[in-house]
Structure 1
Amino acid sequence: MTPYGEYEPDLAATVSPSQLEKACPFLAPELDEDRLAETFLDGREQSSRELGYYNSISAAHVEEAEWRANGSSGGMVSWLAAELLRTGQIDGVIHARPVSPAPPGGPFYTYGISRTVDDVAAAAHSHYHVVEMSGVLEEVLETPGRYLFIGVPCFVKAIRRLQTLDPRLNERIAFTIGLVCGHLKSVNWSLSLGWGAGVPPEELAAIRFREKGEDIPAKSYHFAVRARGSDDFLVHDAASIAGGRFNTGAMMLRACDFCDDVVGETADLTVGDAWLPEYQFDWRGKNMIVIRSAHLEALIQAAFNAGRLSLTPLSARQAADAQSGGFRHRREGLAYRLEGKKARGEWHPVKRPFKVRPPSPLRRLIYTLRQEVSLISREAFVRARSAGNFEVYAGSVRRAMQRLRFAELVSAAPRILSVRIRHVLSKDRRS
């Protein structure tokens, strides 16, 4: 863990460069998402340029028990993990879990293995927090069994690559669930939220993301923090904290600017938020699921037929629209960032070719300003911790974000108006 709240690899001398390249999701371009999907997925009935291969797509939420209420959205990830455990199809779930007690300064989440339904439930919610999986994979190698792996797209892609390198992992990781991802945040982002809410970094004991409530719209990101020595969580709107708006890119990992997989194209099943007009104002949450496994599709369909799940079919176009911001940043924005790297003669990963229209001058400005916010926030927080003064960070970030917010509002105004009109019309139709 670096002072920036990011993990960097400890490259053992016993690991060959060729193995490193094949394992790293940003290197060895011949092992891209398309190739890995063709190798591992049996659900390839259809495909789209945004989603990759898929069998079916749905808007979904869990009807039974408290899975939906206790999840950050529709509860589908935790429910499916628990269902596979309950029915004996797996022996453990490899996923991010809260660290308790967290050491001063974090990390607050780490990869671990849940072997009971209660353990799965305890790790519910979204975790916008950097993690690494070397330790948990050592445990998998030492402990035979069948496992479900849950992670963001680049982690699932890394797992797929490792499965091609190690037959034990190929045999033991029976299922994978991908999480729709905007980008990963450093530990320092969690610390900044806590500090902005009045809990200094060394006093922050725990943080939860995506709190729910009837007065909190689904798209409004509220978080909760707990100070050391207290049993109470304090809930705050992330938008009220400097750098707290997720999509502005504060303390984003730099690799995330060179990823093109929004929806975990190599995973057996992907789960994200159904950010569509008819769902995005429902505080209870609604998932979008993209199924690429015949086995998981049959399991989910049986649960739907039994009244345990709610499923509404979606088209590939609707699914792409539900994560349109992510696709703009990872396709149009990626092409612009790669173009800049090439023009400056700088190294960059080799990515899949996508046909995208050149971004407008306004969109180019937005992508440039997001990179500035990411870099400025990263450095400013380290200075703020050294000075013991949150305003060193907050002032720098606010100045960096002013131009970005203005450019984003100008760009998004027509889209926001359209979404609100469609939401009102959908409410009228339902009534």
Structure 2
Amino acid sequence: MNSCKVIEQVVDKGLCIGCGLCVSACGDNTLKMELSEYGFLEPRQVNSCGPSCKGNCLSVCPFNPEPNNDVRTETELAKTFLKDSKKHNDSIGKYINTYAGFSNEHRANSSSGGVATYTLIELLTRKEIDYVISVKDVTASSAHYEYAISSTREELLQGAKTRYYPVTLAGVFDKVKELDGKFAIVGVPCFIKSVRLAQKVDPILKDKIKFLVGIICGGVKSTFFAEYLASKTGVSVSEYSKPEFRIKDESSSASDYSFGCLDKNNHQNTIKMKMVGDMWGTGLFKSNACDFCDDVSVELADISLGDAWIDPYRSEGLGTNVIVTRSLLAEDIIQKGIESNKLTIEELSLTRFIDSQRGGFNHRHNGLGFRIKKRRNEGLSVPPKRFERDELTFLLKLIHLMRMRIRQKSLKVWKETKNAEQFDREMQFSLNVLKKLTKLNQYQKRYSESGAIRALIMRKVNKVFK
């Protein structure tokens, strides 16, 4: 069997994110998306590449290690697709304005401020689009969620919440080409990039895909993440269904949300995420490809949306969006929403926006150079990136190294245990080391490393590791 380029250069190298655009681009039923042993969707080669294969599968891959110069990074792609954006910042790319706020109607039933739902409904109402491609529940399936097409407000509302579960766009673009009309697509940064790459290759997709809604992402999770959380609620991994990742507590803060799922008797079991521990900063159950992404704010979307993890917004249990508009249509939707009192939104300075996603910028920009250097030292290729300088302190390098090891270990341990209690025991030492290193880094930020202060830090080091 002739080997497919995307399998050789991306999947086999641990850089596949599961977007599935290669399946449509390759054609000839060469590739099929399947779950890997660690719970990630990846393409598998089921037939030899046909004579018409020209490496199209690789050309639409967001982690292509050798892209053409005009699509080398998000910066080059933005020049093609975001010509309305006159402002530019190295951290967030091209943009028009930055905001914070929420939809007065959709906030309560959305994961964050409901601005994504409002925007998509507004696009349908204005007849700017005919269809929305977003993640929705799957009835009677172990997959739980998948990308599906909506054409009405009612259908759209079924996909109003965030799902931290592997999904793929494989096969969706075939429907895009079949149906008459314009489309909007919702996705995380790597998925949005793959859509733009597909539009670059195929003029039909460039014409029919009218609008992209980008969801700021903390990392793509394995199916193991949902299984682990279900087990933490007391539900057997083999029996849980309808996982719900962001159950809000209106009386508390934005970060004080719960996970819930149904057991075999259709009874919902829940657990507060603060009782589970840090699922994001540790790297648990995360895709390896995420460690080589430098797009924090979904730079190629028409509108980018995330959680406002800054005061005073994070104190509001119903959630608040941070917003980046990058096209005139996106900007007009926000402005008209403010004027009609359908949106409660205020302008947010660029500095405040970056502060709202500080963890993401620290990891994906400041720490990227270290991870790239480590990967290259192992003889592995890396896609072109814009933040390759390795300027971390020795302590921060240890922190990033521990996150990488915890990510890998969590997948191996869960595959073997499938039980939250046993998993927690086996992961405890590694997580404790990371926690202690993080504390030491906080001490180092507060104090200089000279004279008596250095002695104070060493006492703290000894105390932490005692």
- Whether TM-score is above 0.5 comes out as yes
SS at match of 1:133: coil
| Counterpart-to-counterpart distance in 2, 1:93 and 1:18 | 29
Report the 3-state secondary structure (helix = DSSP H, G, I; strand = E; otherwise coil) of the residue aligned with 1:372.
helix
**Cα 1:339–1:357 shift into 2, 3 Å:** closer
* 1:240 maps onto 2:275 in alignment: yes
Q: 1:19 aligns with which of 51, 56, 68?
A: 56
Residue identity opposite 2:137 in structure 1: P
The Cα shift of 1:352 comes to: 2.6
The answer for the alignment partner of 2:393 in structure 1 is 360
Say what the alpha-carbon RMSD is for the aligned residues.
2.0
Are 1:260 and 1:351, in contact at CA under 8 Å, matched by a contact in 2? Answer: no
Would the aligned equivalents of 2:248 and 2:256 in 1 still touch at CA under 8 Å? no
Q: Where does residue 425 of structure 1 map in the other structure?
A: none
1:258 is aligned to: 292
Measured after TM superposition, the shift of residue 412 of structure 1 is 4.8
Tell me, in whole angstroms, the C-alpha distance in 2 between the residues paired with 1:375 and 1:193. 18
Deviation at 1:198, TM superposition (A): 0.7
Aligned mates of 2:115, 2:159 — CA distance in 1: 13
Cα pair 1:62 1:74 within 8 Å, conserved = yes
Alpha-carbon offset, residue 157 of structure 1: 0.3
Cα displacement (A) at 1:176: 0.4
Structure 2: segments with no counterpart, 5+ residues = 1-34, 447-466
Which residue in 2 is equivalent to 1:83? 122
Give the letter for the 1:362 counterpart: L
Is 1:127 aligned to 2:163, yes or no? Answer: yes
Distance in 1 of aligned mates of 2:157 and 2:245: 15
**How many angstroms apart in 2 are the aligned matches of 1:305 and 1:250?**
42
In 2 relative to 1, CA 18–201 (structure 1 residues): closer, same or farther, beyond 3 Å? same
Cα offset, 1:370, TM superposition = 0.7
Equivalent runs, 1:15-54 vs 2, <5 Å:
16=53, 18-27=55-64, 28-29=66-67, 30=69, 31=71, 32-54=73-95
Displacement of 1:380 in angstroms is 0.7
Of structures 1 and 2, the one with the larger relative CO (CA 8 A, separation 6+) is 1
Q: Structure 2 residue aligned with 1:72, among 98, 108, 111?
A: 111
**What's the % identity of the aligned pairs?**
31
From 146, 165, 171, give the equivalent of 1:110.
146
**Where in structure 1 do 4 or more consecutive aligned residues deviate above 6 Å?**
413-416
Distance (Å, rounded) in 2 between the aligned partners of 1:54 and 1:414: 35
Q: What does residue 26 of structure 2 align with?
A: none
Match of 2:192 in 1: 156
5 Å-filtered alignment, 1:290-369, equals 290-344=324-378, 346-354=379-387, 358-369=391-402
> Is 1:147–1:175's contact at 8 Å kept on the other side of the alignment?
yes
1:147 to 174, 180, 183: 183
CA contact (8 A) 1:193 1:244 kept: no
C-alpha change, 1:337 and 1:162, in structure 2 (3 Å) is: same
Report the equivalent of 2:103: 62
1:202 aligns with 2:246: no
Relative to structure 1, the CA distance from residue 87 to residue 228 in structure 2 (aligned partners, 3 Å threshold; closer, same or farther) is: farther
The Cα shift of 1:170 comes to: 1.1
Residue identity opposite 1:237 in structure 2: K
Per the alignment, residue 182 of structure 1 pairs with 218
Give the one of 301, 305, 328 matched to 1:267. Answer: 301
The answer to whether the 8 A contact 1:384-1:391 is kept is no
Counterpart secondary structure, 2:289: helix
Q: 1:113 to 1:404 in 2, by over 3 A?
A: same
Does structure 1 retain, via aligned residues, the 8 Å contact 2:119–2:333?
A: no
Amino acid at match of 2:416: R
Distance in structure 2 (CA, Å) of the matches to 1:405 and 1:348: 30
Q: Tell me, yes or no, if the aligned pair for 1:43 and 1:291 is still in contact at 8 Å.
A: no
> 1:225 and 1:127 mapped to 2: Cα distance?
13
- How many corresponding residue pairs? 405
Q: For 1:98, which of 119, 137, 141 is the aligned residue?
A: 137
List per-residue Cα deviations over 1:147-193 (Å, max 9, x = no partner): 10110000000000001111221111110011111110011111111
Q: What is the CA-CA distance between 1:234 and the residue it aligns to?
A: 2.2
Three-state SS of the structure 2 residue aligned to 1:202 is coil
Larger Rg: 2
Tell me which residue corresponds to 1:426: none
Does residue 403 in structure 1 map to residue 433 in structure 2?
Answer: yes
- Within the candidate set 374, 381, 384, 2:417 is matched to 384
Q: If the length of structure 2 is used for normalisation, what is the TM-score? A: 0.83
The structure-2 alpha-carbon separation of the partners of 1:384 and 1:80, relative to structure 1 and needing over 3 Å to count, comes to same
The one-character-per-residue Cα deviations of 1:80-136 (angstroms, maximum 9, x if unpaired) are: 111111222211111111222232xxx221111111111211211211111111122
Seen in structure 2, the aligned counterparts of structure 1 residues 412 and 307 have a Cα distance that, compared at 3 Å, is: farther
Pick closer, same or farther for the CA change 1:176–1:120 going to 2, 3 Å.
same
User: For 1:329-365, what per-residue CA distance to the aligned partner results, in whole angstroms no more than 9, with x for missing partners?
Assistant: 1011111101112233x21323233375611122111
In the alignment, which residue of structure 2 is the partner of 1:394?
424
Give yes or no for contact 1:224–1:234 (8 Å, CA) kept in 2. Answer: yes
Which ranges in structure 1 are unaligned for 5 or more consecutive residues? 417-431
Q: Following TM superposition, by how much is the alpha carbon of 1:391 offset from its aligned partner in structure 2, in angstroms?
A: 3.5
Residues 223 and 237, structure 1, Cα contact 8 Å, conserved in 2: yes
CA contact (8 A) 1:141 1:168 kept: yes
Contact 1:380 1:392 in 2 (8 A): no
**What displacement does 1:414 show?**
9.2
CA-CA distance at 1:254 after TM superposition: 0.9
2:256–2:317 Cα contact (<8 Å) kept = no
CA distance in 2, matches of 1:16, 1:405: 49
Q: Secondary structure of 1:10's match?
A: strand
Helix, strand or coil at the partner of 2:249: coil
